[in-house]
Structure 1
Amino acid sequence: MSQAILWGLVAASPLFVGAVLALLRTWPPRWLGIVLGFGAGALMASIAFELWQEGLNIAGPIPLITGVVAGALAYFTADRMLDARAAKSKDRSAGAPLALGALLDGIPEQLVLGIGLASGEPVSIALVVAIVVSNLPESIGSAADLLEGGMTKARVMLIWAGIAVICAVATVAGFALASVTGDAFRSAASGFAAGALLVMLVDSMVPDAQQKAKTVTGLATVLGFALAAGLSLA
């Protein structure tokens, strides 16, 4: 259990650290777009080489695809609810969808991490670095957009601290539930994270990066994908 707590904190900490970095300085829109584009590429690699491939290897296509559809629908529904709430308050920040995506990705991803630890699977340093590479830009971009939208620093920190804590607890929960879950659950959890991320990338993260960084967005995305893919395959 101590291992699950340790690795849960390590995997979730980039979410909080990214928010801190966004508060320490004002990020010019172009640089923020480059960070978002880089993070989007890293998340694409995570979907392709970790979530999808691992889910497929564990239990085959049916649980994986079921999870993908569920994750996509969960993000889509939750994001529409955010839109409806924002329309009433006239306070819709571009950072909110990224925070939602981080939550819906982080919970199942770290559940799988906890289950793997309980099963005796080693945690690779490459995987930890890949998590940092993908999560850090996501939280920097979201926190910066939330601040730009007028949210107070205290509230931004509270949101991202809450997301980080929930994701860390998910690792411990996965460790505790390992004895009553099977390969199909792990595969579906990986698919859920992949589905939620795919919708978030297309609907929010990539368009936001393109709007801010313009012509260099594609290059930043490819660099993020290449680095994260290399780490995943290491």
Structure 2
Amino acid sequence: MFLFSDGLTCYRRVQTMGARVTALEAAAWGGIAAFSLVVGAWLAFRERPVSDSRVGLVMGFGAGALLAAIAYELVPTGFNQDLLMFSAFGLGALVFFFVDHLVTGRQSMGAASADRSIVVGALLDGIPESLVLGIGVAAGGEVAIAFLVAVFISNLPEALGASAFMRAAGHTRGQAYRVWWGVVAVSAVSAALGAVAYKMVPGSEGGYIEAFAAGAVLTMLADSMIPEAYKLGGKTTGLLAVLGFAVAGALSGLE
């Protein structure tokens, strides 16, 4: 009896340690995926910053990559057959819209509001994307490389664009870094929570989380990122968006 009890206790300790290791691994991947936000801020605050037209083109490429992530990664299989998936998708859109409204006041689009809107979008899509990454690590024992790369690529122009607007609005380099490091930290914690949730909740596959993320990301793209990219980069932005879609879609197909 004592041997059985001791064995059960050891098994639980090993299981708990395994869950902690998985959560730490997931947190690391979540932080890596979001680190490109900091890289984008560094590019925007260099002594010779990226020109507005190039910012727009990079944002267009990132918008295309995000659209591919929505189409191939975030919209779950059977989406059109599950009413709750549609509800989660719509909820993501509504949450972004109202939080964005509170943060920006829906002023006319410009540096003072576009940067906030894109930061909100990065946060609202970063949290569920990180949860999905964490769930994937816990479910398969390894990260989905294609999804990781797509998130990394799409984060870069988001941060580059928003940080360029921050600079134009008079914010300092330190203020921008604090914002993006905060989003990186939130993303890492969210990935760890996703891994823990998968271990604790039987049958959790993250489908509704993915649908929520898709709704938030698509709203951000239509409301902020694509219009601002076109405004800065001109018609060439459309070509870069298609290229970004193609690259991210190809990466998804490698899985």
Compute the TM-score of the two structures, normalised by the length of structure 1: 0.90
Q: Deviation of residue 18 (structure 1)?
A: 1.5
Q: Unaligned regions of 5+ residues in structure 1, if any?
A: none
211, 217, 225: which one pairs with 2:237? 217
User: Is residue 6 from structure 1 mapped to residue 24 from structure 2 by the alignment?
Assistant: no
* Amino acid paired to 1:50: E
Does the Cα contact within 8 Å between 2:111 and 2:166 map onto a contact in 1? no
* Residue matched to 1:64: 85
For residues 29-74 of structure 1, the C-alpha deviation after alignment (integer angstroms, 9 at most, x for no partner) is: 111110111111010000000000xx23599633321211111000
User: Is residue 34 from structure 1 mapped to residue 70 from structure 2 by the alignment?
Assistant: no
Does the Cα contact within 8 Å between 2:91 and 2:212 map onto a contact in 1? yes
Does the Cα contact within 8 Å between 1:101 and 1:196 map onto a contact in 2? yes
* Amino acid paired to 1:8: G
User: Is residue 43 from structure 1 mapped to residue 63 from structure 2 by the alignment?
Assistant: no
* Amino acid paired to 2:209: A
CA distance in 2, matches of 1:11, 1:118: 17
Equivalence map 1:125-144=2 (5 Å)? 125-144=145-164
Equivalence map 1:1-234=2 (5 Å)? 1=21, 2-24=24-46, 25-52=48-75, 55-56=76-77, 61-84=82-105, 92-181=112-201, 183=203, 186-234=206-254
Matched position secondary structure for 1:56 = coil
CA distance in 1, matches of 2:165, 2:68: 24
CA distance in 1, matches of 2:139, 2:185: 23
Matched position secondary structure for 1:94 = helix
CA distance in 2, matches of 1:206, 1:28: 17
* Amino acid paired to 1:17: V
Q: Deviation of residue 94 (structure 1)?
A: 1.5
Q: Deviation of residue 149 (structure 1)?
A: 1.6
CA distance in 1, matches of 2:209, 2:53: 35
Does the Cα contact within 8 Å between 1:93 and 1:149 map onto a contact in 2? no
Relative to total residues, which structure has the larger helix share, 1 or 2?
1
For residues 67-88 of structure 1, the C-alpha deviation after alignment (integer angstroms, 9 at most, x for no partner) is: 111110000001111233979x
Cα root mean square deviation, aligned: 2.3
Does the Cα contact within 8 Å between 1:23 and 1:153 map onto a contact in 2? yes
CA distance in 2, matches of 1:151, 1:180: 42
Higher mean displacement: 93-102 or 119-128: 119-128
CA distance in 1, matches of 2:201, 2:33: 22
CA distance in 2, matches of 1:60, 1:183: 19
Compute the TM-score of the two structures, normalised by the length of structure 2: 0.83
Aligned residues between the structures: 230
* Amino acid paired to 1:21: L
> Structure 1 stretches (4+) deviating beyond 3 angstroms?
57-60, 180-185
Q: Deviation of residue 185 (structure 1)?
A: 6.6
Does the Cα contact within 8 Å between 1:58 and 1:183 map onto a contact in 2? no
CA distance in 2, matches of 1:194, 1:85: 22
For residues 6-37 of structure 1, the C-alpha deviation after alignment (integer angstroms, 9 at most, x for no partner) is: 21222221122221222224121111110111
Percent identity, please: 41
| Larger Rg, first or second structure (1 or 2) | 2
Higher mean displacement: 178-187 or 168-177: 178-187
Change in CA separation of 1:113 and 1:182 when aligned onto 2, cut-off 3 Å: farther
